[in-house]
């Protein structure tokens, strides 16, 4: 048995030895054939040159001596060519033999460059012209594509072939199209070819969009030739060429130091150099459906609704980007002294309140109104028309179908282009979700801090300033220490739970209880001391707390806020008190602008005897604004403060029942009953006075104030119909889910919605029922906001908390989050210079022309898709006659 096994082992050893020797011989023979074939081609080339008059003087002695040993039979020669160290190799690497190519290159490296180029062309054409040569080499044809290449540098010969130069034992990678999970996407990702470790197939990056996915969803990956050309920005030595100006926006960075030393690229550099793809896969629905007669009637009605809105909404005569041309969108220089007052000339304009609306005349003796605005009867007539439209069954059906189609189009877009969007984001240097600008488009100043921050501030004041007189209560002045003693509290007793400012289950559908959460420890006196600006200490504590919040925003750098601060309308001096508080406490930040919110509390003031009619409320709110506009010297602090005010808001509990206004409503002077007017009544008179004020301020070169009320958080759908006619943007808007017609109109008009899902979750709508993700899919202009960080949020960065929870629960991608952040900048009232820096100097242009991925991290693919779908819908509604401007709304 043992001898039998020994014999088998010996036989196996002999067989293996014979096989190894045969393989070695075949390998050696193949290589010899390659060398002989190269010499044969060289000899034929030299003979042709001699016949053409070239003569031997063009050949080196070493080359002439080599010709004596070259065979003449081309078919018997292997497919290899060698001349002076320049070679074309197909699978020339060998482990068992020395690198004869490298040795030959060292021996004959002095040949002139011109001859090399000629002979490379001849050799490559010879190698690729004869298909039968594959059989002569005894190498299977399919093996050539999988043979590892040595490191090479190449010169472009034609559109499909590349000649290479063998230099070392490093292998060169060939790039294939990949998914976002793969760190390498194309050959253009490399600054030099050393960085590649792939060896499948080389592709031109410009072809990637074509091979990504065809119309049937299949990959197209057949190579056009054995050697694929390098991209245009890679030359012979694998170095980067400067890109053309047209492609600079998509080539994101150039690594290396200032002296031209290019380091070996790492994964981040590879991804950074990948230019964003120009095209994306578009979903075409064919044949194009021709609207039926009924649909055409519906579209004509929708046209009229959009035209009504355009007739109401205030637009500046000259857009901000026309007033100030930004050539260098770098960081604008901060205002060194924002509260420096420069006296301005008073004008002769004469404002006069007439039936609840201020009329402006050229002077006191002129009777012609300068800035006419639609009267109340016209507004309520148009409002009732909108209400009839949104109730019509056929219009609801058409709008419902269009909205569903919009939603599914976006889902198909994500299925086809998510990978491309992700790759484009990875290629944008420096930018990600954390360092794109995000604006908190809806946050109330009295609740702008978190509960821990407020607690820490109260404790510090109780420790450092216990003897500060802070309040006048029950006929006596009380110090801070005495106030807490009256409450039987000490600084040690205080904690977040005792502060009790956080919303919980008890506040759901209870707006009254939610408002009580503004009282720390349930005590209104603590709210007056710490969260009011019109108190005994003139709001000093609130000013210091506000500065701490400003410092947090400045430290984050990429988070901005639009704080709402209240004007109640109880007296005209409120404006001067507020402006004095802002100026005296020097409350200014490059990250913050202000909105004025007007609580709808007429009924309370009427019961308290503060006002006698609704006209008193309007007088107290708007007359000081017209006075300071006509004569800035009359209210200098208010004049400086209004430079930072960008919007007017209406706030209160929308869920309270109210009567729908009729076409002929009483004038504000006639409204003397104790009932609160309807929401749309407030909306019209605030809009009409603000429209006139903006016209006057624009004529004097002053900043304007946009109308951005709360609407659609709860209550009737009438609120959203009224704001559709007159508002620039709104806060909340969740009730749009109840009206497909209004939702479609808000989409077509691209009215901004500052939504606060966490706030809605505490008050009126569970988080999982919030329509925000549906609105986003359908293309409505939505942004995320915090509303009340004091009651809602737990972290120091409430806006990021809002984004993170939305991303987790609704599975929003990085591209989605950056698009929402970009929307927030567009909705905000920050200056043209800041928007140019945050979004791009062409931000006011529609579509991808206005997008800069280096600033927003939003791929052009996403922006182009949104713009394309919106234009298609507009053309459909306007029956192919829509006139769409190239710039966003002013």
Residue with tokens 């052009």: 860
Q: Any idea which of 63-77, 107-121, 865-879 has the lowest mean pLDDT?
A: 63-77
The span from the CA of 233 to the CA of 204, in Å, is: 11
Say what the pLDDT of residue 141 is: 41
Instruction: Band the pLDDT of 657: cuts 50, 70, 90.
Output: confident
pLDDT tens digit string along 184-202? 333 333 343 333 333 343 3
Taking a C-beta distance cutoff of 8 angstroms, is the pair 736, 776 a contact?
no
Tell me the average pLDDT across 706-719. Answer: 93
Taking a C-beta distance cutoff of 8 angstroms, is the pair 30, 77 a contact?
no
The span from the CA of 771 to the CA of 403, in Å, is: 13
The annotated binding site is made up of: 442, 444, 513-518, 710, 713, 787-791
Give the burial string for 73-101 (b: 16+ CB within 10 Å, else e).
eeeebbbbbbbbbbbbbbbbeeeeeeeeb
DSSP 887: B
> For 473, phi and psi rounded to 5 degrees?
-140, 130
Single out the residue of 384, 352, 358 nearest to residue 373, CA to CA.
358
Tell me the average pLDDT across 244-260. Answer: 39
> For 163, phi and psi rounded to 5 degrees?
-95, 140
The span from the CA of 220 to the CA of 238, in Å, is: 27
Q: Which range among 73-87, 283-297, 369-383 has the greatest average pLDDT?
A: 369-383
The span from the CA of 51 to the CA of 168, in Å, is: 37
Tell me what the pLDDT averaged over the chain comes to.
Answer: 78
Taking a C-beta distance cutoff of 8 angstroms, is the pair 409, 870 a contact?
no
Q: Which range among 105-109, 441-445, 521-525, 656-660 has the greatest average pLDDT?
A: 441-445
Q: Any idea which of 196-210, 336-350, 843-857 has the lowest mean pLDDT?
A: 196-210
pLDDT tens digit string along 769-813? 999 999 999 999 999 999 989 888 888 999 999 999 999 999 999
Say what the pLDDT of residue 333 is: 78
On the question of pLDDT at 566 being above 80, the answer is: yes
Mapped onto helix, strand or coil, the DSSP state of residue 781 is coil
Say what the pLDDT of residue 189 is: 36
Kindly give, in sequence order, each residue whose CB lies less than 8 Å from that of residue 228, ignoring residues fewer than 6 positions away: 160, 162, 174, 201, 202, 203, 204
Determine which helix (DSSP H) or strand (DSSP E) holds 729, and give its type and residue range. Answer: strand 729-732
pLDDT tens digit string along 595-606? 999 999 999 999
Tell whether pTM > 0.85: no
Instruction: Band the pLDDT of 577: cuts 50, 70, 90.
Output: very high
Say what the pLDDT of residue 663 is: 87
Taking a C-beta distance cutoff of 8 angstroms, is the pair 646, 705 a contact?
yes
User: Which tokens sit at 545?
Assistant: 């707390």
Single out the residue of 109, 69, 57, 65 nearest to residue 87, CA to CA.
109
Say what the pLDDT of residue 278 is: 54
User: Which tokens sit at 190?
Assistant: 């490399």
Beta pairing class for 438-444 and 469-473: unpaired
Tell me the average pLDDT across 546-567. Answer: 94
Taking a C-beta distance cutoff of 8 angstroms, is the pair 778, 753 a contact?
no
Give the burial string for 710-747 (b: 16+ CB within 10 Å, else e).
bbbbbbbbbbbbbbbbbbbbbbbbbbbbebbbbbbbbb
| Helix ranges, 557-654 (H) | 574-584, 602-608, 614-630, 636-642
The span from the CA of 728 to the CA of 827, in Å, is: 9
The annotated binding site for Zn(2+) is made up of: 442, 444, 710, 787
On the question of pLDDT at 619 being above 80, the answer is: yes
Long-range Cβ pairs for the range 463-467 (8 Å, 24+): 463/491
Give strand ranges (E) for 742-797: 752-755, 782-784
User: Which tokens sit at 802?
Assistant: 């809002």
Tell me the average pLDDT across 678-697. Answer: 96
Determine which helix (DSSP H) or strand (DSSP E) holds 441, and give its type and residue range. Answer: strand 438-444
Using a 10 angstrom Cβ sphere, with 0-12 exposed, 13-18 middle and 19 or more buried, the burial of residue 497 is exposed
Say what the pLDDT of residue 515 is: 63
Say what the pLDDT of residue 763 is: 83
Say what the pLDDT of residue 671 is: 94
Say what the pLDDT of residue 121 is: 55
Single out the residue of 376, 344, 370, 340 nearest to residue 357, CA to CA.
376
pLDDT tens digit string along 455-478? 899 889 988 988 889 888 888 888
Q: Where are the domains of the chain?
A: 30-147, 152-160+167-275, 306-439+559-842+856-873
Single out the residue of 787, 722, 772 nearest to residue 511, CA to CA.
787
DSSP character string of 176-229 = ----TTSS---GGG-SSGGG---BS----GGGHHHHH--TTS------SSSSPP
The annotated binding site for substrate is made up of: 444, 513-518, 713, 788-791
- 718-726 vs 679-699: helix crossing angle, rounded to 10: 10
Say what the pLDDT of residue 50 is: 72
The span from the CA of 502 to the CA of 565, in Å, is: 20
Give strand ranges (E) for 546-689: 559-566, 592-599, 645-651
Using a 10 angstrom Cβ sphere, with 0-12 exposed, 13-18 middle and 19 or more buried, the burial of residue 60 is middle
Say what the pLDDT of residue 672 is: 93
The span from the CA of 543 to the CA of 177, in Å, is: 56
Taking a C-beta distance cutoff of 8 angstroms, is the pair 732, 713 a contact?
yes
pLDDT tens digit string along 673-684? 999 999 999 999
Q: Annotated active-site positions, please?
A: 732
Cα–Cα distance list, 641 to 8, 222, 460, 589, 759 (Å): 101, 66, 30, 13, 29
The span from the CA of 202 to the CA of 177, in Å, is: 10
The span from the CA of 890 to the CA of 888, in Å, is: 6
Determine which helix (DSSP H) or strand (DSSP E) holds 15, and give its type and residue range. Answer: helix 2-51
User: Which tokens sit at 354?
Assistant: 């007439």
Single out the residue of 741, 851, 733 nearest to residue 785, CA to CA.
733
Taking a C-beta distance cutoff of 8 angstroms, is the pair 266, 192 a contact?
no
Residues 796/800/804/805 CA torsion (nearest 10 deg): 60
Cα–Cα distance list, 291 to 54, 135, 391, 405, 757 (Å): 76, 64, 21, 15, 37
The span from the CA of 201 to the CA of 187, in Å, is: 10
Single out the residue of 72, 69, 90 nearest to residue 81, CA to CA.
90
Kindly give, in sequence order, each residue whose CB lies less than 8 Å from that of residue 365, ignoring residues fewer than 6 positions away: none
Beta pairing class for 476-479 and 559-566: unpaired
The span from the CA of 80 to the CA of 137, in Å, is: 10
Beta pairing class for 469-473 and 476-479: antiparallel
Give the burial string for 838-859 (b: 16+ CB within 10 Å, else e).
bbbbbbbbbbbbbbbbebbbbb
The span from the CA of 483 to the CA of 584, in Å, is: 26
CATH class of domain segment(s) 306-439+559-842+856-873: alpha beta
Say what the pLDDT of residue 753 is: 96
Residue with tokens 């209880």: 513
């Amino acid at each position: 048995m043992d001898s039998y096994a020994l014999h088998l082992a010996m036989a196996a050893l002999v067989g293996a030895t014979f096989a190894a020797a045969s393989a070695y011989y075949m390998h050696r023979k193949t290589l010899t054939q390659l060398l002989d074939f190269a010499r044969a081609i060289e000899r034929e080339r030299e003979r042709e040159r001699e016949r053409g008059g070239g003569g031997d003087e063009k050949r080196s002695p070493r080359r002439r001596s080599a010709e004596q040993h070259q065979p003449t039979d081309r078919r018997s020669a292997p497919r290899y060519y060698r001349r002076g160290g320049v070679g074309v190799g197909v699978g020339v690497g060998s482990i068992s033999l020395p690198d004869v190519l490298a040795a030959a290159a060292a021996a004959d490296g002095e040949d002139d460059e011109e001859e090399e180029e000629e002979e490379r062309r001849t050799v490559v054409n010879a190698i690729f012209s004869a298909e039968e040569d594959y059989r002569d080499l005894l190498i299977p044809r399919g093996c050539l594509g999988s043979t590892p290449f040595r490191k090479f540098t190449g010169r472009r010969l034609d559109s499909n072939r590349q000649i290479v130069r063998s230099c070392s034992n490093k292998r060169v990678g060939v790039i294939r199209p990949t998914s976002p999970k793969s760190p390498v996407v194309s050959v253009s990702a490399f600054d030099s070819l050393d960085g590649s470790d792939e060896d499948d197939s080389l592709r031109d990056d410009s072809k990637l969009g074509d091979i990504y996915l065809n119309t049937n969803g299949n990959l197209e990956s057949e190579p056009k030739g054995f050697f694929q050309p390098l991209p245009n920005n890679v030359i012979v030595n694998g170095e980067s060429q400067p890109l053309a100006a047209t492609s600079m926006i998509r080539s994101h960075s150039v690594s290396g130091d200032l002296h031209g030393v290019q380091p070996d690229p790492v994964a981040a550099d590879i991804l950074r150099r990948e230019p964003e793809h120009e095209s994306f896969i578009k979903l075409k629905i064919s044949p194009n459906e021709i609207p039926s007669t009924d649909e055409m009637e519906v579209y004509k009605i929708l046209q009229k609704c959009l035209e009504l809105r355009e007739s109401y909404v205030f637009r500046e005569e000259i857009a901000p980007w026309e007033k100030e041309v930004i050539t260098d969108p770098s960081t604008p220089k901060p205002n060194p002294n924002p509260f420096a007052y420069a006296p301005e000339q008073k004008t002769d304009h004469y404002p006069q309140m007439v039936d609840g609306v201020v009329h402006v005349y050229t002077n006191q003796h002129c009777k012609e109104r300068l800035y006419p605005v639609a009267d109340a009867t016209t507004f309520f007539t148009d409002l009732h028309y909108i209400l009839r439209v949104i109730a019509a069954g056929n219009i609801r059906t058409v709008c419902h179908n269009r909205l569903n189609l919009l939603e599914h189009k976006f889902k198909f877009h994500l299925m086809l282009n998510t990978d491309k969007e992700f790759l484009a984001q990875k290629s944008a240097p420096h930018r990600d979700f954390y360092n794109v600008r995000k604006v908190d488009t809806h946050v109330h100043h009295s609740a702008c801090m978190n509960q821990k921050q407020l607690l820490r501030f109260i404790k510090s004041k109780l420790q450092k300033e216990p003897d500060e007189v802070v309040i006048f209560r029950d006929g006596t002045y009380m110090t801070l220490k005495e106030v807490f003693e009256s409450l039987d509290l000490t600084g040690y007793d205080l904690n977040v739970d005792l502060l009790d400012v956080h919303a919980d289950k008890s506040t759901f559908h209870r707006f009254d209880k939610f408002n009580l959460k503004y009282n720390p420890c349930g005590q209104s006196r603590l709210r007056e001391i710490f969260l009011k600006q019109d108190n005994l200490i003139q709001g000093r504590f609130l000013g210091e707390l506000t500065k701490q919040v400003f410092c947090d925003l400045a430290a984050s750098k990429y988070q901005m806020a639009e704080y709402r601060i209240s004007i109640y309308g109880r007296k005209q001096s409120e404006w001067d008190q507020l402006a004095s508080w802002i100026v005296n406490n020097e409350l200014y930040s490059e990250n913050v602008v202000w909105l004025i919110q007007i609580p709808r509390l007429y009924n309370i003031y009427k019961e308290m005897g503060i006002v006698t009619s609704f006209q008193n409320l309007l007088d107290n709110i708007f007359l000081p604004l017209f006075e300071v506009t006509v004569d800035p010297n009359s209210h200098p602090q208010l004049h400086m403060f209004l430079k930072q005010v960008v919007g007017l808001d209406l706030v209160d509990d929308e869920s309270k029942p109210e009567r729908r206004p009729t076409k002929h409503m009483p004038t504000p002077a006639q409204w003397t009953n104790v009932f609160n007017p309807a929401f749309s009544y407030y909306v019209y008179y605030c809009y009409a006075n603000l429209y006139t004020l903006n016209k006057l301020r624009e004529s004097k070169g002053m900043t304007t104030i946009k109308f951005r009320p709360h609407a659609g958080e709860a209550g009737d759908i009438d609120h959203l119909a009224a704001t559709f006619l007159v508002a620039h943007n709104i806060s909340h808007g969740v009730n749009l889910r109840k009206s497909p017609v209004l939702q479609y109109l808000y989409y077509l008009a691209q009215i901004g919605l500052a939504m606060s899902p966490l706030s809605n979750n505490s008050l009126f709508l569970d988080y999982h029922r919030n329509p925000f993700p549906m609105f986003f899919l359908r293309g409505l202009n939505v942004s995320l906001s915090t509303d009340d960080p004091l009651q809602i949020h737990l972290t120091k960065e409430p806006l990021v908390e809002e984004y993170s929870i939305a991303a987790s629960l609704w599975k929003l991608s990085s591209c989605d989050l950056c698009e929402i952040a970009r929307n927030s900048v567009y909705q905000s009232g920050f200056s043209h210079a800041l928007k140019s820096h945050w979004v791009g100097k062409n931000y006011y242009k529609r579509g991808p022309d206005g997008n800069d991925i280096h600033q927003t991290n939003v791929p052009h693919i996403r922006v182009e898709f949104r713009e394309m779908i919106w234009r298609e819908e507009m053309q459909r509604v306007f029956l192919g006659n829509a006139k769409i401007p190239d710039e966003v709304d002013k």
